[in-house]
Amino acid sequence: MKCRRLCLVGLGAFPLLFALSHLRADPPTTPTKKLPAGAPKAISDSDALAARIDQLLAERWTKGVKPAPLADDAEFLRRVYLDLAGRIPRVSEVRDFLDDTDSNKRQRLVERLLKSPQFVVHFSNFWRAQILPQNNNQQVEFFIPSFELWLRKQIRENVPYDRMVRELLTVPVGSADRGRPLPVNPNGASPLAFYQVNEQKPENLAATTSRVFLGVKLECAQCHKHPFAKWTKNQFWEFAAFFSEIQTRGRGGPFAPVSEERGRKEIKIPGTDKVVQARFLDGSVPEWKESATTRTALADWVTSPRNPLFAQTAANRLWAYFFGIGLIEPVDELTEENPPSHPELLKELASQLIAHDFDVKFLIRAITSSQAYQRSSMTTHASQSEATLFTRMAVRGLSPEQLFDSLAQATGYPNPLSANPAGRGFGVSTPRGDFLAKFASQDRRTETQTSILQALMLMNGKFIADATSLDRSATLAAVADAPFMDTAQKIEALYLAALARKPRPEEASRLLGYVNNGGPRNDPRAALADVFWALLNSPEFILNH
């Protein structure tokens, strides 16, 4: 059966019929923050910013560059569901969208997804992966549910990005009088995991803060001058001094008792007698306020509209998420030696993010409305080979959460854990937990590689075996036993469930014969299960395109 099913994998090749563009419009918004001096003019609505994005990209195209046509409705639908909801669409959602003749249906779909609980869950996964450093310590897993709940609260209430980061950087982390750590309850929302995962160490917190929120890999300067950038060892420890008020008492990793020593503004460089004062990365000295902590001063500087690194890093991370490659790549290296591929575009996105009060949804609306985002991923011209020109959509690997939740959606598997971070299965083996552990997230989604163990899990692991079993798969059983559907309709239903599209004529013809003839076992129901297995293992399913 495995050999028979392997030969069917090729049936899920990329379809990608091309469609014409759609008119886009959304309610205008009013910029409220003053842009930094010299910044482009504030743009009032996301549709206008989308047009500006396309204009700035096209300015880089030389003679002979031919962009890919826009994606058809099915390709766009699957892409935007994966990007905003973290899963593929339901069959009913596919049929409704494909049947909709409204020229604004793409914009309306984006708005609906931005208001959905799935967006809240998915983007909390996105920001958690960006903010918390990769760590295989099982103790750290204890703190992640409360962090995800905190993120979900921020996203659900559409808290501006600068306010979210400010709260994270200034949250109390310990008791100053008894040296006791604040409790971290997996069932309660708290950003304290940021400190626990970084072991409450000033050097770790400084390195993560500069990398995640400023796009600066400062840790290379921890022991010596940065080999490729301007940062010095002194600068690293001056930045780390902003976290020196956090005092870890004794050992115990993330569970060590913590206290705060308010007013402490200096740190001793390990291995030396030198003590340095807290100083920002631009060399300026903080204006200390009497009642504020050092981290409050740091948060003021990091999230300031006058700090170009903060808005540019956020805009670049979002761009890299939606396109698979950043305007600055790697996204964590905003240095003079690593200029952006499109300086004016990055400046524009950062400026508009500031002007619209760091409203991430405003930027998402603009990006997803752009022709750049809505282009097909199919290569139609040799000039589309250069990824940084953004002449077509890059093919991207799914995150572990996207892949599992899409499998669960396609197969009808009940998946309550995706909506409840407190039930992540800490200390307990669950199908979702096992799957996420096996499919570790990768930094470059355009260069995703599948290991042998991952491939075997998708081909014949217990989850997939159950999902393609006529006895245990809700989707397959419902389709195979539907008395009102003929074979062609059953095949179409499986395509809609797995790939969010209808089969092409040549696919339908080939598979119709395969199923009607019963496959090698002369059993049409078993042959239908083979088709479903092939679709779930196809590149078209496991990639975002």
Cis peptide before 421 (omega within 30 of 0): no
Is residue 532 in a domain? Answer: yes
**Same structural domain, 155 and 269:** yes
Is residue 22 in a domain? Answer: no
What is the pLDDT, as a whole number, of residue 189? 87
Residues written for the chain: 545
**Same structural domain, 422 and 295:** no
What is the pLDDT, as a whole number, of residue 451? 63
- Say how far apart CA 57 and CA 490 lie, in whole Å: 43
What is the pLDDT, as a whole number, of residue 289? 81
**Same structural domain, 280 and 177:** yes
Spatial CB neighbours of 357, under 8 Å, sequence gap ≥ 6: 32, 33, 160, 162
From residue 55, how far is each of 381, 387, 471 by CA, in Å?
A: 20, 17, 53
**Same structural domain, 6 and 140:** no
- Say how far apart CA 71 and CA 378 lie, in whole Å: 9
Q: Across the 545 residues of the chain, what is the mean pLDDT of every consecutive 10-residue run?
A: 49 33 40 69 91 96 94 98 97 97 97 97 94 69 87 96 97 58 61 90 94 88 58 87 77 57 79 90 87 89 95 97 95 87 96 97 98 96 94 92 91 68 54 74 61 68 79 88 93 96 96 93 92 92 93
**Same structural domain, 288 and 167:** yes
By residue range, what is the domain housing residue 425?
A: 2-13+397-408+418-544
Last residue of a domain, one of 263, 286, 302: 302
**Same structural domain, 287 and 422:** no
What is the pLDDT, as a whole number, of residue 79? 98
Helix axes 505-516, 487-499, angle to 10 degrees: 120
What is the pLDDT, as a whole number, of residue 258? 62
- Say how far apart CA 297 and CA 290 lie, in whole Å: 11
Last residue of a domain, one of 270, 302, 334: 302
- Say how far apart CA 237 and CA 353 lie, in whole Å: 30
Is residue 317 in a domain? Answer: no
Spatial CB neighbours of 496, under 8 Å, sequence gap ≥ 6: 91, 94, 95, 502
What is the pLDDT, as a whole number, of residue 227? 54
- Two tokens at 363? 């930027």
Is residue 505 in a domain? Answer: yes
b/e per residue 431-444 (b: at least 16 CB within 10 A) = bbbbbbebbebeeb
**Same structural domain, 277 and 426:** no
Is residue 215 in a domain? Answer: yes
**Same structural domain, 146 and 293:** yes
- Two tokens at 174? 């310990």
* Inter-residue contact 195 to 213 (CB < 8 Å): no
Last residue of a domain, one of 282, 302, 322: 302
- Say how far apart CA 245 and CA 118 lie, in whole Å: 38
Is residue 471 in a domain? Answer: yes
What's the start-to-end Cα distance of the chain, in Å?
29
Sign of CA dihedral 432, 434, 437, 439: negative
**Same structural domain, 285 and 144:** yes
**Same structural domain, 142 and 270:** yes
Nearest Cα neighbor of 340 from 328, 326, 325 is 328
Is residue 127 in a domain? Answer: no
- Two tokens at 188? 């309660």
Is residue 70 in a domain? Answer: no
Number of domains in the chain: 2
**Same structural domain, 428 and 291:** no
**Same structural domain, 167 and 295:** yes
